[in-house]
Structure 1
Amino acid sequence: MEQKYQGAVMDIIDKSALKKSDLIETSKLKYFIRCMLAGMFLTLGTAIAVMVAEKAEHMLPGSGKFFYSFMFAWSLVMITYMNTELGTSNMMYMTAAVYRKVLAPKRALLILFSCILFNLIGGVIASYIMSLTNVFQALPAEHFLFHAVEGKLAKTPLQMVSEGIFANVIVNTTVFVSGHMKDDAGKLFSTIFIIFIFAFLGFEHVIANFASFSLAFFANGGPVTGMTIVSVLRNWLFAFIGNYIGGGLLIGLLYAWMNNGTQKYVD
């Protein structure tokens, strides 16, 4: 009799998808709030990262990006340990869940797009409130935050898509790596150093861009150079496409397919 093997990580993905589905079915409000909190934690991570980067540039020119990347990685630590909902990781969860017939496509789409929408709402609200704090008053035009956002808006669609692919491959790799870790210390270090990769390379993460664009807008008192409704929506669209290819297809669908059937080689 053939035995259908199941990997530890794929078990986690199945259970997580079902847990998300149960929450949105029993209380949409609670699910939406968890999504908004993820936007808030990304805003907090972005805020401390750009401020540390700005200070580092003054102390040691050229070091700002390194310190930014290290500090930004803590966003994902907060999101993970505070049990909030992030749209880019849900791209993987929902795609794998549909392929593995854990969730119906309609339910998976509801979870994914609700999550992304409320990540945006949470990020915008948190960014506005953050812009009212003392540290974000009267930032100079050459501040690290503004330069970073201007650079993102100046990228071509091909750059945004390709960088979005790798960004979400990296984000969802942390799910697999953490799933193999036996203790919190391992999960912590793996999350920080893997997320560091996409942050340092400047790859495009649509949910992180919700936070950084909003924070730059409110802190600047209006649009920064190159920021228009069209340029912002353009970035979010192409980053989303890249993120879905990377997280939804290359990680979610591919690993669900590789773990399907009667095999001993499982994840």
Structure 2
Amino acid sequence: MGLIDNSVTKKSHLFENSIWKYVVRAMFAGMYLTIGTAIAVVAAEKANHIHPDLGKFVYAMLFSWALIMIIYMGAELGTSNMMYLTAGASRKSIKPKRALQILLVCIVGNLIGGIISGALVMRTGVFLDFNASHYLAETVAIKLSKPAFQILIEGIFANVIVNTAIVASARIKDDAGKIIAIQFIIAFFAFLGYEHVIANFSSFAMVFFGGGIAEMTVSSVLNNFFFATIGNYIGGGLIIGFTYAWMNKGEALYFD
């Protein structure tokens, strides 16, 4: 049984035997993304005072630690599950209906975790002076102003990158190697500003509870969530999950 089958079996077993434990693991992923976002944007804000172009580099390198925390703490992330569950359904190690149920519950859990932790972290000292000129507010304003097609395309590339990091970390045995691989791969999408719907749950919640911005309307938020989710699924679920399951089908030697 391969990496995908093992992971899907574990997820399905937990979901079927204790759905609330699964929900908590999904909420924890939202929390870790919020923590990673918080440290990354605060550091980026400080770095921009040194040089206006420095913040983006600092943000990308620090945000990567959100995924490192998720992987090492055994949390359930919706965008990586797009890959796992689609590949598992294609390989018939899980029924499509069950895969869809797990994915939907995971995404909702991520959203709840992001909202709760986003509300709380904005009450901590480093965000008491939060305003519309903060690095986080400006970043979210740009995200909410993007046209739908751009969000879709950036969502595709974001989850190709994220799941490349997931697969790389699973194949590397040494912890230092895992961390280095994740940090630099995730930094690609963070630096490019691509759209990761679960990360957006956290950053949008933080801005909302920080007082909001003019660009944050119900329609702009839902537009981003919808097209980012579709793009993320195409990138992680279809391009990585389904395609690699198809390429591995019937292979004994060249098998990923």
When Rg is computed on C-alpha atoms for both structures, the one with the higher figure is 1
Amino acid at match of 1:59: I
What is the aligned counterpart of 2:228 among 239, 242, 261?
Answer: 239
What are the within-5 Å matches in structure 2 for residues 140-151 of structure 1? 140-151=131-142
2:247 corresponds to which residue? Answer: 258
Compute the TM-score of the two structures, normalised by the length of structure 1: 0.94
What are the within-5 Å matches in structure 2 for residues 35-54 of structure 1? 35-54=26-45
Distance 2:215 2:251 in 1: 53
Amino acid at match of 2:224: N
1:174 corresponds to which residue? Answer: 165
Deviations 1:85-141 (A, max 9, x none): 000000001100000000001110110000000100000000001111111112232
Match of 1:73, SS state, is helix
- Alpha-carbon shift at residue 251 of structure 1 (Å): 0.2
Deviations 1:2-31 (A, max 9, x none): xxxx7xxxx111101110000011101100
Amino acid at match of 1:47: A
What is the aligned counterpart of 1:18 among 9, 13, 35?
Answer: 9
Matched, 1:84 2:75: yes
Amino acid at match of 2:11: K
- Alpha-carbon shift at residue 241 of structure 1 (Å): 0.5
Match of 2:101, SS state, is helix
Matched, 1:216 2:207: yes
2:119 corresponds to which residue? Answer: 128
- Alpha-carbon shift at residue 175 of structure 1 (Å): 2.0
What is the aligned counterpart of 1:163 among 154, 166, 177?
Answer: 154
Distance 1:244 1:139 in 2: 33
Compute the TM-score of the two structures, normalised by the length of structure 2: 0.98
- Alpha-carbon shift at residue 182 of structure 1 (Å): 2.1
Deviations 1:130-171 (A, max 9, x none): 111111112232110100000000001110000000000000
Distance 1:146 1:265 in 2: 46
Deviations 1:229-254 (A, max 9, x none): 11101000000010000000000000
Misfit runs of 4+, over 4 Å: none
Distance 2:173 2:131 in 1: 45
- Alpha-carbon shift at residue 178 of structure 1 (Å): 1.6
1:3 corresponds to which residue? Answer: none
Match of 2:69, SS state, is helix
Matched, 1:230 2:231: no
